Amino acid sequence: MTARKTNPTAAEVLDERVPFSFSGVDYLLPATYAWPFEALEAFEDGKIATFLRHVLGDEQMAVFRATKPTVADFQELVVALQKALGISGN
C-alpha cells in the first residue's frame, strides 16, 4: 500500500496522522503539536535518532530498524519526514 499524500496543515486541523512512505514502508506521523516534549528536547540536544524514535514511536522505529538501514538511509528518512510534514531542516 502506498501512503496517500496529506496536507500536514489539514492533518493538524483534523487531528489526523500524516502518512508517508520511505523505501517501500508506510509510516504515520503525528501532527507536530502532538509530538512528545522529549522529541523537542532530543532535537535541541542534537540527538536526532532519539528525536526520530519519539516522533515515530517504538513500533514504527522497530519497523524501520528491521529494514537494516545504514546511516545514509537514516538521513534520507529524516529528509522524507521533513518533506511529509512540510518542514525544512539543515
11-62 confidence digits (pLDDT tens)? 555 557 899 899 999 999 998 888 999 999 999 999 999 999 999 999 999 9
Residues 31 and 41: beta-carbon distance below 8 Å: no
pLDDT mean across residues, the chain: 84
Q: 37: left (phi > 0), else alpha (psi -120 to 50), else beta?
A: alpha
Contact partners, residue 4, CB within 8 Å, separation at least 6: 19
Kindly report, residue by residue over 36-50, the tens digit of the pLDDT: 999 999 999 999 999
pTM: predicted TM-score of the whole model, two decimal places? 0.73
What does the pLDDT read at residue 87?
80
